[in-house]
Structure 1
Amino acid sequence: MERNIALIALFAALIAALGLIPKVTLGFGVPITAQSLGVMLCGTVLGARRGALAVLLFLLLVAMGLPLLAGGRGGLGVFASPTMGFLVGFPIAAFVTGLITERWRNAPLTLVAGIASALGGIVVLYAFGTAGLALMLEKSLPEAAMLVAAFIPGDILKAAIAGMLTSALARARPAAVLSRS
């Protein structure tokens, strides 16, 4: 129990730390950040439940006003901005990523974690991000999807990195990858 709490807090801190990498904000108000890599790693390393809890802890701290999002943003106002859909999708993306990693055991972990990150951290997250963007910018879903498409190359790279990091961690410390225990 105590170990789970510590790991959930550690991965919430990881997502926050990945927000320190300088952001690049696109013209429609959504920044390119490394924080989605942290969401992917929450799922691939911690598993579905603990991964989602780590992201929810992170979002709770953001909602309380801590400037943990890229560019030092925080507070309830970020949940009424163009990034709203992505923020709402973060815990669900971590959950789906973790669920796939937990259940798909008959393939190499690098491949499983990479595909799980792509499905949860890109497909699921983009569904929420696109819907939120369409709502906040008063655009149609196809228009919002075209805007979100700018993130695809970087997020594919993040999914590959998540797969490699998860596999490396499993080789170095097998008990640390809770999605496989």
Structure 2
Amino acid sequence: MVHNENRLRMIIICGMFAAITAVLSQLVIPIPLVPITGQTLAVGLTATILGSKYGAISMICYMLLGAVGLPVFAEAKGGLGVIIGPTGGYIISFFIAAFVIGFILEKTSFNIAMAFIANIIGMIITLTIGTIQLKYVADLTWSAALAGGVYPFIIVGLIKAFLASWIGISVRKRLIQAKLLRGTTKQSAA
């Protein structure tokens, strides 16, 4: 019975984080080719709080909601066309980045410093996969793909990685204290 309650709780929490990602996706600064959005902040928060498995599940849920046409992607877009379009690689990368961020934290320690490192690695994963798809789908040169898909995101990505780390670790601690989330043996006091 307790196992089923925990499973149901985690399914609900994954759905909530998919919804949080949809909301943060609407925070958009339009620039040519790929807009700056709150999506990657949501990915980092989700993975930092939930860990690898549930972070990845949340991002898969988010991607599936958008794939079926719900307007959850940036600028209230949805549909499979967005995922296979020029910016779809960023969306596809979210579940991979979330898994890696959570995995790093689970294997090291849930503290702000490790979360920052993990979120930077997640940012690199997202920018790499996103830029590769942008280059090939939009038929760009590598220099044009990097100029439109990486360079504008480096500074803002570092800021979002720090915010995801700081906020994520704080929220995670509170959710564990409230017994809404289970901690790990590598939980840090930092």
Counterpart residue number, 1:6: 12
TM-score, L = length of structure 2? 0.86
Counterparts of residues 1-181 of structure 1 (less than 5 Å): 1-21=7-27, 23-28=28-33, 30-105=34-109, 109-120=111-122, 122-147=123-148, 148-174=150-176, 175-176=179-180, 180=184
Unaligned runs of 5+ in 2: 1-6, 186-190
Q: Verify the 8 A CA contact 2:46 2:168 in the aligned structure 1.
A: no
Deviation, 1:69, is 1.1
Structure whose alpha-carbon radius of gyration is higher: 2
Deviation, 1:179, is 6.8
CA–CA distance in 1 between the matches of 2:182 and 2:115? Answer: 13
Q: Verify the 8 A CA contact 2:116 2:165 in the aligned structure 1.
A: yes
CA–CA distance in 1 between the matches of 2:106 and 2:13? Answer: 17
CA-to-partner distance for each residue in 1:114-163, whole Å, 9 max, x for gaps? 1111111x111111011011111212334312322111111110000011
- One-letter amino acid matched to 1:12: A
Q: Verify the 8 A CA contact 2:119 2:165 in the aligned structure 1.
A: yes
Unaligned runs of 5+ in 1: none
Q: Verify the 8 A CA contact 1:14 1:38 in the aligned structure 2.
A: yes
TM-score, L = length of structure 1? 0.90
CA spacing shift, 1:88–1:173, aligned 2, 3 Å = closer
